[in-house]
């Protein structure tokens, strides 16, 4: 088997394993977990092309907390646009650099050398792919397992954690994301602007670490249902959080 065929074979096997993992658990087992199952193709010239992953549930599955129309537009239009524009932006990258990119992790690892269009759209693709998995129908409740212990140890109680996370989400001026991250075993809460992700290799990030929980606070995430009432949207989010995914992100990143 020549190199190209063996590379293709490896990619095919990886994709099959990845899809199997999604079907089985919808969970991840590596750092920067959500990016591990982002669908992609390796083109004949070795370049990577990213594809929009399917929502792991129906558009109306998060009703009445997150409405169907918001989910349709958010996933099919906004997320799709990040994927499309990421692929376009990658066409502008030096082929010698591009050949070393086969995942969003690779892009995040060299983000300080990437043009802003790659930063915005790779971030948008990764953040949304992660966000969908951090919600589920009949979700919410309280954190589980090791993450529950760490939240209680760090913040004193789940209620205090929620207050601080909601505060970070409310105070993010303009568009961005609120995060719970783990860094060397330590939890912290913060936010980033635009589509920045705390695991990007960038000096200027306001919070760094591996994402455990993420909340999109762009107006496109809530304006149809909640208009200007971001606080109502944040309250709705607590009813759909997928704490199993968050716990898996936490335990696999430690
Ligand atoms: Fe969004």
- State the distance from the centre of ligand 1 to the C-alpha of 77, rounded, in angstroms: 10
- State the distance from the centre of ligand 1 to the C-alpha of 154, rounded, in angstroms: 28
CB distance 215 to 241 below 8 Å:
no
CB distance 30 to 210 below 8 Å:
no
- State the distance from the centre of ligand 1 to the C-alpha of 216, rounded, in angstroms: 6
Residue position matching structure tokens 């959080």: 241
Residue 28: pLDDT band (50, 70, 90) is: very low
Other residues' Cβ atoms within 10 Å of the Cβ of residue 178: 25
For residue 31, the model assigns a pLDDT of 37
Residues 42, 163 share a domain: no
Least confident of 38-42, 113-117, 132-136: 38-42
pLDDT digits (tens, 9 = 90+) for 61-107: 999 999 999 999 999 999 999 999 999 999 999 888 888 888 899 99
Asked which of 80, 103, 133 is the last residue of a domain, the reply is 133
pLDDT digits (tens, 9 = 90+) for 162-199: 999 999 999 999 999 999 999 999 999 999 999 999 99
Rounded mean pLDDT of 116-145?
A: 97
Residues 170, 242 share a domain: yes
Please state, rounded to an integer, the average pLDDT across all residues of the chain: 86
For residue 128, the model assigns a pLDDT of 97
∠95-101-105 over CA atoms, to 5°? 150
Q: Is 140 within the bounds of a domain?
A: no
Looking at per-residue confidence, does 25 or 168 come out higher? 168
Residues 97, 176 share a domain: no
DSSP string, 94-153: -HHHHTT--SHHHHHHTGGGS-HHHHHHHHHHHHHHHHHHTB-TT--S---HHHHHHHHH
Q: Is 139 within the bounds of a domain?
A: no
- State the distance from the centre of ligand 1 to the C-alpha of 217, rounded, in angstroms: 7
Domain count, the chain: 2
- State the distance from the centre of ligand 1 to the C-alpha of 133, rounded, in angstroms: 13
Region for residue 145 given its phi and psi (left: phi exceeds 0; alpha: psi -120 to 50; beta: otherwise): left
- State the distance from the centre of ligand 1 to the C-alpha of 175, rounded, in angstroms: 9
Domain holding 243: CATH number? 3.55.40.20
- State the distance from the centre of ligand 1 to the C-alpha of 219, rounded, in angstroms: 8
Q: Is 193 within the bounds of a domain?
A: yes
Q: Is 38 within the bounds of a domain?
A: yes
Residue 218 DSSP code: S
pTM beyond 0.75: the answer is yes
Measured between alpha carbons, how far is residue 162 from residues 86, 238, 243 in Å?
33, 9, 13
- State the distance from the centre of ligand 1 to the C-alpha of 86, rounded, in angstroms: 15
For residue 12, the model assigns a pLDDT of 40
Residues 100, 20 share a domain: yes
For residue 20, the model assigns a pLDDT of 33
- State the distance from the centre of ligand 1 to the C-alpha of 124, rounded, in angstroms: 7
CA distance linking residue 104 with residue 33, whole number of Å: 11
pLDDT digits (tens, 9 = 90+) for 132-173: 999 999 999 999 999 999 999 999 999 999 999 999 999 999
Q: Is 80 within the bounds of a domain?
A: yes
Residue 219 has pLDDT above 70, yes or no: yes
**Burial class (CB within 10 angstroms; exposed 0-12, middle 13-18, buried 19+) of 110:** middle
- State the distance from the centre of ligand 1 to the C-alpha of 174, rounded, in angstroms: 13
Which structural domain, as residue segments, surrounds residue 45? 3-133
Q: Is 26 within the bounds of a domain?
A: yes
Residue 11: pLDDT band (50, 70, 90) is: very low
For residue 27, the model assigns a pLDDT of 31
């Amino acid at each position: 088997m020549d190199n190209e065929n063996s590379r293709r074979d490896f990619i095919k096997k990886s994709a099959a394993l990845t899809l199997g993992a999604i079907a089985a658990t919808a969970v991840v087992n590596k750092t920067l977990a959500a990016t591990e199952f982002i669908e992609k193709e390796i083109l004949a010239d070795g370049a990577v092309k990213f594809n929009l992953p399917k929502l792991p549930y129906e558009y109306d599955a998060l009703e009445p907390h997150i409405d169907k129309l918001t989910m349709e537009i958010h996933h099919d239009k906004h997320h799709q646009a990040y994927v499309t524009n990421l692929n376009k932006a990658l066409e502008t990258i030096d082929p010698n650099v591009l050949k070393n990119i086969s995942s969003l992790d690779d892009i995040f690892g060299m983000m300080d050398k990437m043009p802003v269009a790659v930063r915005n759209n790779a971030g948008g693709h990764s953040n949304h792919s992660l966000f969908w998995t951090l919600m589920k129908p009949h979700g919410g409740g309280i954190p589980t397992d090791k993450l529950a212990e760490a939240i209680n140890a760090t913040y004193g109680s789940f209620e205090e954690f929620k207050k601080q996370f909601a505060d970070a989400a409310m105070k993010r001026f303009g568009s961005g994301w609120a995060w719970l991250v783990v860094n060397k075993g330590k939890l912290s809460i913060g936010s980033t602007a635009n589509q920045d992700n705390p695991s990007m290799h960038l000096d200027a990030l306001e919070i760094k670490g591996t994402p455990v929980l993420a909340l999109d606070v762009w107006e496109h995430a809530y304006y149809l249902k909640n208009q200007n009432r971001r606080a109502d949207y944040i309250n709705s989010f607590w009813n759909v959080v997928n704490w199993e995914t968050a716990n898996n992100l936490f335990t696999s990143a430690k």
